[in-house]
Amino acid sequence: MIINKPITEIIIDQNSGFCAGVINAIRTAEEWLKREGTLYCLGDIVHNSEEMQRLADMGLRVITHEEFRQLRHTRVLIRAHGEPPETYRIAQENDIEIIDATCKVVLHLQHTIRQYFEEDENRQILIFGKQGHAEVIGLLGQTDGKGTVITSLDDIGKIDTSRPTMLFSQTTQNIDEYRRLIHALEEEFAAAGHRQLFSHTDTICLSVVNRAKQIQEFASHYDAIIFVSGEKSSNGLYLYNICKNANPNTFFVTTLDQIDQLPAPNGKSIGICGATSTPMWLMQEAKDRLSKRLQITETIK
């Protein structure tokens, strides 16, 4: 393996790593695990298998919604993504204590959607998000399942332009795509002669918007970028694409073993960054693994 130019630095992006909502959910889980030794969690607390393994080793037991329905007289953690009202109803019926780590930003969005939904029964609630995503399921639940999920511009045909309509976004969506959707919907309602019926609100999380700008700048500063993230993370995919556009020499890795399989880095500097669900310790281990690999390579060379 030949390195064209010796690597002189490997830098971790200090703005990468967990957002406030994920930090709070993990801290809450850790506190209960230290006290009780075991705790159920409804779905993965974070879309990162390495971090989930660390929490599993501490005693965290991830359950599905089916398993949740069978539980009685116990305690269950709700992660930052939040849950629909149905989950709280089941908990009450089954004497399950909810440890609620729903992110404050998501909670506020849930309450706002509920308010708009209850204010006017004829109002059409649109949610720009990923179908089946945990946060989106929680948001849809605020409309008793009557809201409509819009995943892309292709879904515009589903919309009734004769009803008052309010558009929201899942907190981790791409801001540029959201703006394009707003623009397309304004045109759609205007074409139907009902422009005044359409309203929208900006509900993308600021930490996601800011992270996108910071990571774009970070990626363009280095010769190569290693982006560390779980494959299931929608925020991970979004930020990875921003890095790749800013720096074509960007590589997506999920596990540390993949670092050894990457093409030999070409350049003087490598930046390591990740999603809002990537733990800082994993990026540090990625850096250690890469440093080790480069030392070995240089020895062979």
Query: Do 268 and 9 meet the contact criterion of CB atoms below 8 Å apart?
Result: yes
Contacts of residue 273, defined as CB under 8 A and 6 or more positions apart, other chains included, come to: 12, 13, 15, 16, 215, 218, 219, 225, 226, 227, 228, 239, 243, 283
> 146 to 175, contacts with ligand SF4 by CB under 6 A?
171-172
Q: Indicate which single residue of 7, 12, 19, 253 sits in contact with ligand SF4 (rule: CB under 6 A).
A: 19
Is 135 annotated as catalytic?
A: yes
Q: Helix and strand tally (H, E) in the chain? A: 11, 12
| CA-closest candidate to residue 39, choices 15, 20, 62 | 62
**Piece of 53-61, 90-98, 200-208, 288-296 that binds ligand SF4 (CB under 6 A):** 200-208
- 269 near 9, Cβ under 8 Å? yes
Q: Which is nearer to ligand SF4, 110 or 276 (CB)?
A: 276
Q: Crossing angle, helix 134-141 and helix 85-93, to 10 degrees?
A: 80
Query: CA torsion sign, 43 to 45 to 48 to 52?
Result: negative
Does 276 participate in binding ligand SF4 (rule CB under 6 A)? Answer: yes
Per CB under 6 A, 26 contacts ligand SF4: no
Closest by CA position to 52, among listed 77, 27, 26, 31: 26
Check residue 207 for interaction with ligand SF4 (CB under 6 A).
Answer: yes
Instruction: Kindly state the smallest distance separating residue 254's Cβ from ligand SF4, in Å.
Output: 20
Kindly state the tokens that stand for 47: 């879309």
Instruction: Give yes or no for residue 275 binding ligand SF4 (CB under 6 A).
Output: no
In contact, 123 and 165? CB cutoff 8 Å = yes
Q: In whole angstroms, give the CA distance from residue 255 to residue 249.
A: 19
From the list 61-69, 103-111, 124-132, 255-263, the region that binds ligand SF4 by CB under 6 A is 103-111
Which range of residues in 52-60, 85-93, 100-108, 146-154 is near ligand SF4 by CB under 6 A? 100-108
Shortest CB 241 distance to ligand SF4, Å: 17
Which range of residues in 14-22, 47-55, 119-127, 250-258 is near ligand SF4 by CB under 6 A?
A: 14-22
Q: Which is nearer to ligand SF4, 91 or 139 (CB)?
A: 139
Q: Verify binding: residue 253, ligand SF4, rule CB under 6 A.
A: no
Residue 80 binds ligand SF4, judged by CB under 6 A: yes
**Catalytic residues, which ones?**
135
**Binding site residues, ligand SF4, CB under 6 A:** 19-22, 80, 103, 105-106, 171-172, 205, 207-208, 276
